[in-house]
Amino acid sequence: MHAVQQRENGNRETVVVLRDLTKIYRDFWRRTRIRAVQHLSIEVSRGEVFGLLGPNGSGKTTTLKMLVGLLHPTSGSISILGRSPRSAATRHLLGYLPEESLLYPFLSAREALDFYGQLFDLPAAERRRRVDQLLEMTGLVHVADRPIGQYSRGMVRRVGLAQALINDPDIIVLDEPTAGMDPLASRQVKDILRSLADHGRTVILSSHLLADVEDICDRIAVLYNGRLRAVGTVEELLVHEDRFIVSLPAADTDLLRMITGEIRRRMGSEPEVSHPRRNLEDFFLELIRTAKDTETADFSGASEPGLVAEYLSHGEEDKHTLPRASSRQGNGNDNIADPP
Amino acid sequence: MSTAIDCIRALCHHDTGTSIPMSISAADRSEVRAESVARATLHVAAVLRVTLLDLLRRPIVPTLMYSVAVLIAVMPFIPFLTLGQENRLVRDANLSLILMFGIALSVYAAGTGLYREIHRGGGELLLSKPISPLAFLAAKYAGVIVLLALFMLAATPAFIVSSRASRGLAQVDWRLEGPLLAGLVAAPLLAALIALCRRRNVSQYAALLLPAVTMAVLAVTTPYGHAHPPSGEFRSGYLLAAAAGVGLVLVNIAAIAMTLSTRLSIPVSASLTVLALVAGLSAGGIEIGGLSFLLNALVPDWMNFWILSSVPPASPHLASLFLWNLIQSFLFSSALFILGCLLFWNAEISKKST
C-alpha cells in the first residue's frame, strides 16, 4: 500500500495509524507471559506532539518499539505514512531514541553521529555539517571528541536525541526523552521538540513525567495495563468545564469579601480564595537564568531555538538536493509547511 | 535448502522498500540493483568499522591480544631453563596459547558484538535505522573475523620468532628479534604516556602493537646475521602454515559462537562453543562408530587442522592438507552463517527483560 493515508483530523494529515494493536510476550513454550498491549487504536497527525503516558509496565515502550519495527505485533496493524514500520523506506523517515541511550561507549559523540549518518546514506560533507549543527544544538560541542562512556546520563541522552535527528526525520519517536536530565537540560530538550513540531515534524514520546507531557504535548494517550484508558488534547482531558478560576491583581480585603459574599449569595457555595503559585520548574529555571547572567558560567544545551530552525531549514533544502533514499518519493512528504 | 535460500532472499530484500517494479527496463533494473548492492555494502562497511572500533577499544580485547604476544615472547626461555631439547614443546605450547586466547577472544567478541548488542546494546538503535538484518549480521560476522585476523597478525610473528629462538638463545639474532621484545614492552608504556597526556583510554594501545608486529615481521623475513638459518620444522613457511591451521580453527569457533549468539545468552553460547570444540577434538578418538560419525557430521575434526604442525616439513601432503582444511573451514563457516541468518530472521530486537 503506497498511497498515503489522508485522513483529515483538524486539517492535518494522519501520519501514524495504530489499529487494534495487541502484543503478547510468550515464553519458550509459547505460553502467554505478558499481555503488554491490548487492542490499542491511536491516530497521530503531522506536526503533532503526541504523548503516551502511563506507569511502568503499562505498554508504552512496547508500543513505541512496535512503531519503529523492532517488535512485531501479535495482532492488529501499524501504518506509518501508509507503509509498514519494518520497511527500510519507512525507517528513512523515522528518528528513534530508545529508553536507554544504547550508544557505543567507546565512540565519541562525533564518531557516533557520523556513523548513524552513514546508515542514512548521507554524503560525508553533509554528515559533517549536520553533526556539527546537532552537536551545537544539543550543547555537546565541547565534549564532542570524548568517548560517550565518560558522559553523564543527561549528556548521553542528548547524544541520543542528536542521533534521532541526524536524518532530519518526519516522525520522531522518543522513549522517555528527558529521563536523567536536570531541569535545565530537560527544558531545552522540550523546547527543541516543540520547535520540531512547529516545523511540521511529528513527535511521539512516552513519559511518566506528567509535567513534561503536559508541557509539550498537543494530545496524550493514557495507558494502563496495556489498555488505552483515555486519549485527547491536554485541554480536553484536564479542564474542569464546570469550574472557573478568576485571577485578580492585588486586591484589598474589602473587595475580596464583597466578591466572595456575592458568589456565596448567588451560588450557595463557598469559593476558594488563595494566592497563585508558580510551578517548581519555572522557579528553578528563573533562578538558574539569573545565576547564569551574573556568573557567566558555561551554558550547556540548546541555547537558542534558532539553532533548531537553522538545522531544519537546511533539512528542507536537503529534501530537494540530497540523493535521499527512494523512500522519500511519493510519501506525501513535500507538503510540510513552515509555521507562519 | 530452498527454505534457507528463501530466508536469505527475504533477508536481503527484507522490507527494504527497494523492490524493483517490473515495468522498468532491464538496464534500469540492473542499475537500481547495483545501487542497492552498493548501499548495502556501504552499510556493512560502516557497521563493520564501528564493531571493530568498539571491540578494540574495550580494554579486555587489546589485553588478550597483548598477553598472548608477551607469553609467546617469553617461551624461548623454557629450554634455556630446562637445559633440554624442548623446541617442539615450546612450539606446541605457543600454538596452544594462540588457540586458548583466540577462543576466549572469539567467544567474548561474539557475545559482546552480537548478543549484548541485540539485547543490551546499540543493536536496538542500529536496527531502527534503514539497514537490513542481513547487512547487520554480515557486518558482525566480518567484524569478528577481522578482529581475529588482527589477533593472528599480532600472535603469529611472535610465535615464529619465539619458536625459532627456542633452539637456543645463542642462536637468536638479537639485532632483529630484540626489537620485538622491546616493542612489546614499550607499546603499553608509550600508550599509557599518550593516554596521560591526551586524557584518553589506555585501551587504545592495541594500535601501538603495530610497531611491535612490524618489527616482528621484519625479524621473521630478514635473513639471520650470524646465527644458523632455521631449517626443517623451524622454517618460517612451515611455522606459518601451523599458525594458519590454528587460525582456521579460530574462524570456525568464532562462527559457532556468533551463530549461537544470535539467540542464546553469552554463558550458554560460550558453553556450547567449548562443547563443540571438545566434540570436534574427541570425535576421531571415540570408538563408538555411530557417535563418532555424528560428531564429525556436526563439527569438523579439529585435529586435522592441528596436525599441520606435525606433518613432516618435506611431506607432499602438507599443501593439500592445508587446502582441504581451508575449504572445509570455508564451507563450515558459511553454513553457520546461513544458520545464523535463519535464526536471526524475524527476530525481535529488544531488551530481554520487558
What pLDDT band is residue B335 in, cutting at 50, 70 and 90?
very high
Q: What angle do CA A319, A324, A330 make, to 5 degrees?
A: 75
Distance CA A321, CA A208 (A): 40
List all residues 6 or more positions away from B231 whose beta carbon is below 8 Å from its beta carbon: none
For residue B67, what are the domain limits?
34-346
Give start and end residues of each alpha helix (H) in B57-132. Answer: 60-74, 77-82, 87-110, 117-119, 123-126
B4: in domain: no
For residue B172, give how far its alpha carbon lies from the nearest alpha carbon of chain A (Å).
Answer: 40
**B38-93 tens-digit pLDDT:** 888 888 888 888 888 777 777 677 777 777 777 776 666 665 555 555 667 777 88
Q: Poorest-confidence range of A79-83, A185-189, B1-5?
A: B1-5
Could you say which DSSP state residue B308 is in?
Answer: G
DSSP-assigned letter for residue A53: E
**Which helix (H) or strand (E) element contains residue A331?**
none
Report how far residue B114's alpha carbon sits from residue B117's, in angstroms, rounded to the nearest whole number: 5
Read off the pLDDT band of A161 (50, 70, 90). very high
- Nearest-10 crossing angle of helices B133-165, B236-261: 150
Q: How far apart are CA A24 and CA B38, in angstroms?
A: 38
Residue A126's DSSP bridge partners are none
Q: With beta carbons under 8 A apart, name residues in chain A contacting B351.
A: 100
For B168, the grid coordinates are 637456543
- B195 burial (CB, 10 Å; 0-12 / 13-18 / 19+) is middle
Residue A132, all three cell numbers: 556539527
Of A66, A98, A102, A104, give the one whose Cα is nearest residue A85. Answer: A66
Q: What residue in A sits closest to B51 (Cα-Cα)? A: A104
In a domain, B324, yes or no: yes
From B214's Cα to the closest Cα of chain A, the distance in A is 26
Identify the pLDDT of residue B18. Answer: 47
CA quadruple A156, A157, A163, A165: dihedral sign: negative
In a domain, B318, yes or no: yes
Residue B226's pLDDT band (cuts 50, 70, 90): low
Q: What pLDDT is attached to residue A133?
A: 93
Among A128-137, A231-240, B127-136, B208-217, the range with the most confident prediction by mean pLDDT is A128-137
| Model confidence band, residue A77 (pLDDT cutoffs 50, 70, 90) | very high
Cβ atoms of A197 and A167 closer than 8 Å: no
Residue B187, C-alpha cell as written in the block: 607499546
Examine the pLDDT at B337 and tell me if it is beyond 80.
Answer: yes
**CB-based contact A325:A89 (threshold 8 Å):** yes
Does residue B18 sit within a domain?
no
Q: What is the pLDDT of residue B204?
A: 56
Whether residue A11 is predicted with pLDDT greater than 70 in this model: the reply is no
Task: Provide the shortest C-alpha distance from residue A53 to chain B (in Å).
Answer: 17
Mutation target among A101, A108, A118, A151 for the B interface, most CBs of B within 10 A: A118
Average pLDDT, chain A: 81
> Rounded to whole angstroms, how far apart are CA atoms B231 and B237?
10
Report the range of poorest mean pLDDT among A57-66, A73-82, A221-230, B71-80: B71-80
Report d(CA B354, CA A9) in Å as an integer: 34
Mean pLDDT, to the nearest integer, of A75-79?
94
> pLDDT tier at B220 (50, 70, 90 boundaries)?
low
Quick one: average pLDDT of B194-212? 60
Predicted pLDDT at B201: 56
Residue B246 lies in a domain: yes
Which helix or strand (DSSP H or E) is residue B256 part of?
Answer: helix B236-261
Indicate the pTM of the whole model: 0.73
Choose the mutation target among A102, A168, A324 for the interface with B, i.e. most B CBs under 10 Å: A102
Closest Cα in chain B, distance from residue A149 (Å): 10
What's residue A10's pLDDT? 52
Percent of chain A with pLDDT over 70: 84
Task: Tell me the one-letter amino acid at B299.
Answer: V
* Biggest CA-to-CA distance, chain B: 80
Q: Looking at per-residue confidence, does A132 or B12 come out higher?
A: A132
Burial (Cβ within 10 Å: 0-12, 13-18, ≥19) of residue B194? middle
Give yes or no for A124 touching B (CB within 8 A).
no
Q: What is the pLDDT of residue B34?
A: 84
Find the residue in A nearest to B346 (Cα).
A72
Q: Is the pLDDT of residue B6 over 60?
A: no
Q: What is the pLDDT of residue A124?
A: 93
Average pLDDT across chain B, whole number: 76
* Residue pLDDT, tens place only, B105-151: 999 999 888 888 887 767 888 889 998 888 999 999 999 998 898 88
Whether the CA torsion A10, A12, A16, A17 is positive or negative: it is: positive
Q: Residues A91-105: what's their mean pLDDT?
A: 88
**pLDDT on residue B312:** 74
Per-residue model confidence (pLDDT) at position A332? 35
Q: What is the pLDDT of residue A128?
A: 94
Provide the 10 A C-beta neighbour count for residue A62: 25
Residues A219, A231 contacting (CB under 8 angstroms): yes
Given this model, what pLDDT does residue A5 score?
Answer: 41
Q: Which residues contact B210 (CB under 8 A, 6 or more apart)?
A: none
Domain membership flag for residue B158 = yes
Q: Give the separation between CA A309 and CA A266, rounded to whole angstroms.
A: 52
Q: Using alpha carbons only, how large is chain B's radius of gyration in Å? A: 23
Tell me the mean pLDDT in the region B249-267: 91
More confident residue, A67 or B13: A67
pLDDT reading at B207 higher than 60: no
Whether the per-residue pLDDT at B224 is higher than 90: the answer is: no
CA A30/CA A116 separation, integer angstroms: 35
pLDDT at A42: 94
3-state helix, strand, coil in chain B (%, to 5): 80, 0, 20
Residue B94 pLDDT: 84
Min Cα–Cα distance to chain A from B305, Å: 36
Displacement of CA B87 from its chain's centroid (Å): 26
Cβ–Cβ of B58/A88 closer than 8 Å?
A: no
Identify the three-state secondary structure at position A43.
strand
In chain B, the percentage of residues whose pLDDT exceeds 70 is 68
- C-alpha B72/C-alpha B98 separation (Å) is 9
Residues of chain B contacting A, Cβ within 8 Å: 14-18, 39, 42-43, 46-47, 49-50, 53-54, 57-58, 120-132, 200-201, 203, 346, 348-351, 354
Mean pLDDT calculated for residue range B28-33: 80
Q: Is residue B2 part of a domain?
A: no
Contact B50 A326 (CB under 8 A): no
pLDDT of residue B211: 56
Tally of domains in chain B: 1
What's the confidence (pLDDT) of residue A338? 35
Window 45-64 of A, Cβ < 8 Å to B: 61-62
B281 or B131, which is more confident: B131
> Are residues B142 and B40 in contact, defined by beta-carbon separation less than 8 angstroms?
no
Cα–Cα distances in Å, from B314 out to B24, B232, B318, B319? 61, 8, 8, 10
Report chain A residues whose CB lies below 8 A from the CB of B350. 65, 70-71
Tell me whether residues B348 and A89 touch, CB distance under 8 A.
Answer: no
